[in-house]
């Protein structure tokens, strides 16, 4: 039986979460649907939602507040900071300057309408700023009561190891799915340390291709290829928290239902044998 919950810091969440990146914030009709999808996710039992300053430069955070505030007590909203918006001719870029990180945290507090952000993840490690300075800024805001827990995104094992010498890391958000296991070593490190591994892009674009073999397992279970892919992630390790995203109510229901799909040992052996497709996307 697959374990369906995991403790992230001091919060217990259901392992199958929701990625809010694809929720449109405009125009009005699309925004109304996005609000409905966010609300339906919570109604269906989702207790982990992922967003970021990068997603609409704060508009995604505002959308979640419009849809869900005041938040259910068991809902954990994770946001990310560390990407500077475009300032022509400069394009958007990774930026870990402490002053920018502090400003984006303050903006998130206002946009999400909360006194404390329960989980803030460094969106990317800025190679031009010492990691101790980047995480130090977040640690200072944590000490001030503005951040509950600190996580990372798209990191290597070496970066995770270095970060854990500086702060208590409760989560890592890396790209990972059945056909793309580039970050397998990072997942293994998280599993060994009991750190939540938020798998983004949890369903590879190629899962519906007949050549993957996933469709055969899906047909046997009366499920979709996407559901099989999500169920595989949930069976992969207890620390894995997939965060599929969608702007479709029907697709949302399909994703959430994957948490109830039980793969047999034979199914898992067949799926594991497909092997990773390598770093795509």
178, 271 Cβ separation under 8 angstroms: yes
Calpha distance 144→138 (Å, rounded): 10
Whether 176 is covered by a domain: the verdict is: yes
Which of 211-220, 232-241, 246-255 is least confident? 211-220
Residue 97: inside a domain: yes
- Residue tagged active-site, from 55, 71, 200, 232: 55
CB–CB of 247/33 below 8 Å? yes
50 pLDDT tier (thresholds 50, 70, 90)? very high
The reply to whether 105 falls in a domain is: yes
Query: What pLDDT shows up at residue 106?
Result: 98
The rounded distance, in Å, linking the Cα atoms of 28 and 220 is 41
Say whether pLDDT at 281 is over 80: no
Q: Is residue 256 part of a domain?
A: no
Long-range Cβ pairs for the range 212-221 (8 Å, 24+): 212/179, 212/274, 213/270, 213/271, 213/274, 214/178, 214/271, 214/274, 216/270, 217/263, 217/267, 217/270, 217/271, 220/267, 221/261, 221/263, 221/267
Q: How far apart are CA 237 and CA 193, in angstroms?
A: 12
Q: Does 265 reside within a domain?
A: no
- On whether the CB atoms of residues 52 and 123 are closer than 8 A, the answer is yes
Domain coverage including residue 147 = 10-203+238-246
Average pLDDT, the chain: 95
Q: Where are the alpha helices (DSSP H) in the chain?
A: 28-43, 59-68, 98-112, 131-143, 157-164, 184-193, 214-221, 225-236, 249-257, 265-272
Does the pLDDT of residue 274 top 90, yes or no?
Answer: no
Q: Please give the model's pTM, rounded to 2 decimal places.
A: 0.95
Whether 110 maps to a domain, the answer reads yes
The answer as to whether 123 is a domain residue is yes
- Of 7, 80, 1, nearest to 47 by C-alpha is 7
**CATH number of domain containing 153:** 3.20.20.100
176 an active-site residue?
A: no
Number of structural domains the chain divides into: 1
Question: What is the rounded distance in angstroms from the CA atom of residue 102 to the CA atom of residue 140?
Answer: 9
Over residues 3-27, the pLDDT tens digits come to 899 999 999 999 999 999 999 999 8
* pLDDT surpasses 90 at 209: no
- C-alpha–C-alpha distance, residues 114 and 77, integer Å: 11
157 domain residue, yes or no: yes
């Amino acid at each position: 039986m697959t374990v369906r919950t995991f403790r992230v810091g001091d919060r217990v969440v259901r392992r199958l979460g929701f990625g809010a990146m694809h929720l449109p914030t405009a125009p009005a009709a699309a925004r109304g649907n996005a609000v409905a999808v966010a609300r339906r996710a919570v109604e269906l039992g989702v207790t982990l939602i992922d967003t970021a300053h990068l997603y609409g430069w704060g508009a995604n955070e505002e959308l979640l507040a419009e849809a869900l505030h005041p938040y259910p007590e068991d809902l954990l909203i994770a946001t990310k900071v560390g990407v500077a918006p475009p300032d022509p001719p400069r394009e958007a870029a990774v930026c870990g300057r402490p002053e920018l990180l502090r400003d984006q945290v303050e903006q998130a507090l206002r946009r999400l309408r909360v006194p404390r952000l329960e989980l803030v993840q460094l969106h990317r490690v800025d190679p031009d700023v010492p990691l101790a300075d980047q995480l130090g800024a977040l640690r200072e805001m944590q000490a001030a009561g503005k951040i509950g827990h600190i996580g990372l995104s798209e990191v290597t094992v070496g970066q995770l190891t270095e970060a854990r010498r500086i702060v208590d890391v409760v989560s890592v958000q890396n790209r990972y799915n059945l056909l793309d296991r580039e970050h397998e070593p990072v997942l293994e490190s998280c599993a060994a340390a009991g750190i939540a591994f938020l798998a983004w892009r949890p369903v590879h674009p190629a899962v519906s291709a007949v050549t993957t073999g996933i469709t055969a397992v899906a047909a046997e279970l009366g499920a979709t290829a996407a559901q099989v892919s999500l169920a595989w992630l949930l069976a992969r390790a207890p620390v894995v928290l997939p965060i599929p995203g969608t702007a479709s109510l029907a697709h949302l229901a399909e994703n959430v239902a994957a948490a109830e799909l039980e793969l047999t040992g034979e199914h898992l052996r067949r799926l594991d044998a497909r092997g990773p497709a390598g770093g795509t996307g």
